[in-house]
Structure formats: C-alpha cells, structure tokens
Amino acid sequence: MTGHKTTFAQGLGIASVIGGALASLHSLRETSGHITDDAYKTADVPQGEGHVAYHLAREAFTTAGAVTAAVGSAVATGRGDAQAWFPLAASATGYLAGQWSGKATAGSWAPSGRALAWHVGTSVLFLSGVLLLHPPRRRP
C-alpha cells in the first residue's frame, strides 16, 4: 500500500513470522529426508510400500506452501493490507495443527526432545507474528 508506514509491532510481527518460517525449514528438511528412506517403506499398507513416502512428500509440499503463504501474508498485512491477516492466520494455524498432530496420531508430541524444542520455537514465532499483525478493530 502506498504511503503506509509499518509500525514497530508490525515489523516485529513480520520478523516473527519469517523467523517461524526459517525455523520450520529444519522440520521440512527432516520430513523430506524420510521420503527416500527405506525405513519408511512398509509392505503392510494396502496402497503399496511407498504410500508412506507419498504422504511425506505431500506433507513437505503442503508445508512449503503454507509457510510461503504465511510469510507473504505477513508482509502484506504489515504493509497495511488488513485483509491479508486471515490468510496469514489460516496458513500458520494449519501448519501448526499438522505439526502438533503427533500426539493424536503417533502417541508423542515429537519424536525427540530436540524436535519438541523446534516445534515450540516455531509455534511461538508464528503465533507471536499472527498476534502482532492482527489489524486493529475499527469502531463504527
């Protein structure tokens, strides 16, 4: 938007979302590394032994899209486009919901203490950015 001045809170919000995106690259790299890992092939799946790899690939591409959308929406919101906040919140929430689904699907929040720390850090950064970039409410 022309003439819009980014506030300190908006700048911090953008930086937080970008930090969350950068932190998510570690998780994305880990997930992508399992796509070709023979340990993730299982003959017990009716769709074939490579079906788990398909889901890992789909997760990696979905994650990359959600994180990219979050960053783009954060920058647009910080530059005065209040309508970009909802896509920011939706993409960050979707990404984080998937990241935290491990307890329900695998019985653990994360496969290790280190992974849990990455999840917490990514979540704090993304959620801080979403909250800092929330547009002010307009009074009628």
pLDDT at 140: 66
Mean pLDDT of 19-45: 88
φ/ψ bin of 3: left (φ > 0), alpha (ψ from -120 to 50), beta (otherwise): left
Q: Do 80 and 136 touch, CB atoms closer than 8 A?
A: no
pLDDT at 139: 65
86 has a pLDDT exceeding 50: yes
From residue 81, alpha-carbon distances to 14, 26, 75, 92, 133 in Å are 13, 30, 9, 17, 10
Supply the mean pLDDT for the chain: 90
- The predicted-structure confidence for 61-77, as pLDDT tens digits, reads as follows 999 999 999 999 999 99
Q: What is the pTM of this model?
A: 0.86
